[in-house]
Amino acid sequence: RITRDVRDTRDRIHDMEAEASARISVGSTQGLFSHFYQGWARQAGVAERLQLNLKATNWVGEQFLDALDSGECELVLCYWHPDLPWGERLTPERYEHVTLAREALVPVSVMDDAGQPRYPLPGTAEQPVPLIAYHGRGFLQSAIEAHLGRQKQAANLLPLNENTQSASIKALVKQGFGMGWLPQRMTEKSEQFGSLVRAGDERWDVPLEIRLIRLRDTRSDELLTLWNTLERQHV
């Protein structure tokens, strides 16, 4: 009986390893994994065919493309905007993408006693708005800076620190250290329950796309089949 149990356990482990190796490896930013990936994968009917690479939650910006190039993952789920500082690397000859959804970064702050944002935009030169910023190498800070640069009215900001994760920015904003831009999906519950409010109107919203990216040159039949399914869903 013990020998049989050991053999059955070994067979189950082998089956689990084979199933995991057959899944397509995905690298995702932590914010998208927490607030988009799982719901999208279930709705698209592809959750069982994907395997998240947990190392990806520590990657920043261009490291996601490095992982694609090295084969560390087969797909990258990320934010995209035309002002990425390394966007010229994303050539259509080498990479292919599907746009899964639209997103916006919205400026948020805690409330003051009157129910207004404690740190409203645009601030003044004498009293700049304290900002919890994103890391300059990531996907989002360059989008914010480019969007602000196109506004007729300048935003007077005083960056206090930089973070690679939206969740870290949200935590510091909710503790009242300053305002910050967060993906709208991350703010909905906080705005609903009054722990965060908008720090500015829609002109300060930064438009983004949520993209799935792969290497164009792939020999994986599983990946090509999945990709064709997603392309049909997002025509």
Give 138-184 pLDDT, tens digit per residue. Answer: 889 999 999 999 999 999 999 999 998 899 999 999 999 999 999 99
Question: Are 95 and 85 members of one domain?
Answer: yes
Same-domain check for residues 191 and 131: yes
Residue 47: in which H helix or E strand, if any?
Answer: none
Range of the domain at 19: 2-101+209-233
For the record, the structure tokens of 65 come out as: 């493309």
- 45 and 139 housed in the same domain: no
The rounded Cα 171 to chain-centroid distance in angstroms is 16
> What are the φ/ψ torsions at residue 152 (nearest 5 degrees)?
-70, -35
C-alpha 24/C-alpha 220 separation (Å) is 9
Question: How far, rounded to the nearest angstrom, does the alpha carbon of residue 87 sit from its chain's CA centroid?
Answer: 16
Higher pLDDT, 6 or 228: 228
pLDDT tens string 38-76: 999 999 999 999 999 988 888 888 999 999 999 999 999
Q: Identify the pLDDT of residue 8.
A: 65
Nearest to 183 by CA among 96, 108, 123, 115: 108
Number of domains in the chain: 2
Tens of pLDDT, residue by residue over 86-104, are: 888 889 999 999 999 999 9
Residues 68 and 123 in one domain: no
Burial environment of residue 223 by CB neighbours within 10 A (0 to 12, 13 to 18, 19 or more) = middle
- Is there a single domain that holds both residue 138 and residue 96? no
Residue 134 vs residues 36, 157, 161, 163, 166: alpha-carbon distances, Å: 19, 13, 8, 5, 8
**CA–CA separation, 106 and 190 (whole Å):** 13
CATH code (residue 75): 3.40.190.10
